[in-house]
Amino acid sequence: MQLSLDDASPALSNVVFCVLDLETAGSSAEVGGITEIGAVKYQGGEEIARFNTLVNPGCAIPSFIVMLTGITDIMVMNSPPIEAVLDDLVEFIGDSVIVAHNARFDMGFIQSSLERDGRPRLTNKVVDTVSLARRLVRNEVPNCKLSTLAESLGLNHQPAHRAMNDVLATGDLLHYLIERAAGFGVYDLNDLIALPKLGSHPQANKLKFTEALPRTTGVYMFTDAQGEVLYVGKASNLRSRVRSYFGTNESRTKVGSLLKLMQGIEFIQTPDLLTAEVLELRIIGRLRPRYNHAGTRTAKYCYVRLTTEEEWPRLMVSKTPSAKGICIGPISTRNMATEVVDAIESVIPLRRCTVRMGRKYVAPDGAPVCSAARLGLAQCPCSGTAEPESYAIAVQQAANALTGKSTDVIEALTIRMNAHSEAQRYEEAAYLRDRIQTFETVLRRQKQAEKLCNQGKFTVSFDNIVYEVDNGVLASTRNADQLFMPLASLSKHVHEAIVVPNGVHDEHGMLRSDAMDEVLCIAKFLEAQQ
């Protein structure tokens, strides 16, 4: 698991915008070609470069287009075709952010021209000033046509259905809208692009809660009016992630309900994503927010136990660990624990009955033979048909399987799976495949957790960040010799939730279910760095 930060969204003052406008001989790329291209690059509000050329569209220009633009067939007769212009245009645009008024129209013509010439499509980010204007000034103007906006807002340039005139007017509009967007806390490119979608969200008035969020790694918490944590998440860019919940493409019912209840946002900045993930796990595990599905996960953890304290041991699934017998876990769900038991019992003939058998147990006369024993799948001590010596061998095999000292179970199941597959009994083969995968997953997690917990206290460094791990949990994080400390402004119950666990084992020496996720998280991270 390689943890990395999202590419930081640049501040708007540092972005190079390429404002673009086309004049065309038709309403679509299929109807008519491009007659003129205008483009101006801006950075920090200042013009830095221009591009302007007439283009031979390869067809007659309709009379109404001539009247609208003033561009005639004679004017473009000796102009280059679009294929001869594309190289210069693409080079001029470079990696800048493309801006256009009704960008879908202009980009449609450009992308179609590139495709017809066998060139790759442009992948630049695009800002549409129509969408921005509808979000920011729609209630102040009769409509969002470029000419109307230029007149109503008093822009320096007026459009005239010529590419360069329209580009300059669009450039004025862009910078006007950027200034207006600052009132919504929009100062970087990602926020500017997302703003039109955010504005139509039913809970858009709550965007104010995101203004204080940094563009760094950390943990965020949605809280209600009483300060209760409703939902916890982690992000490599807190601001962008939280604001994405307000997007119009977010259709999950749970999110809508969450945002209705949300009355505040708490956050914790972290120096890296691993620390964020660990804190997220702690908060979810201890506070169990109602909108975190994972918050109930630890409550479902189970253990598989071999009851070696009995005369005739058996496998069982239990909710809590025990000092008696051989116990593995915690296992994520009861279903997974049951599949582990099924995998072992399908290979090793342990009893499956639940009859209590003390050391002096004697099977009653006429006791029925268990169905599993009749099928040859188990020995049947409850009916007196099991031999202590052979049963002891089966118990040792089961103990080896649980402690990872033998691969006999997996090998036997694999042989059966392959035989079923060759016989085209695919459902049975799939059943065995799932059992094998579950068994291997449980053993792997158990091994990872035990290995990490047995290492005691140690430090490890990656990418100039130093982690102190103590018995499987993250004790501290240092970045540039500075110890990471959460903000003191956090609410009391959140502060209490992120405290380093005081040990990860219970009184029986078993790994606690509420610590398992953190231990595995760290174990997987460390393994990925090797």
- Catalytic site positions: 161
Q: 37 phi and psi, to 5 degrees?
A: -125, 130
Asked if the bond preceding 330 is cis, omega within 30° of 0, the reply is yes
Residue 53 has phi, psi (to 5 degrees) of -160, 145
What is the layout of strands, in order, in the sheet containing 315-318?
Answer: 315-318, 302-306, 326-331
Q: Is 379 exposed, middle or buried (0-12, 13-18, 19+ CB in 10 A)?
A: buried
Closest Cα partner for 18 from 140, 129, 146, 138?
Answer: 129
SS3 at position 22: strand
**φ/ψ of residue 430, rounded to 5:** -65, -40
Q: CA-to-CA distance for 88 and 85, rounded, in angstroms?
A: 6
Token look-up 């008696």 returns 324
Q: How many Å apart are CA 109 and CA 33, to the nearest integer?
A: 8
**Does residue 115 contact residue 83 with C-beta atoms inside 8 Å?**
no
Phi, psi of 18 (to 5 degrees): -110, 100
Residue 430 has which token pair? Answer: 């799939």
The encoded tokens of residue 360 equal: 């002096």
If 0-12 CB within 10 Å is exposed, 13-18 middle and 19+ buried, where does residue 377 land?
A: middle
Considering only CA atoms, give the Rg of the chain.
Answer: 34
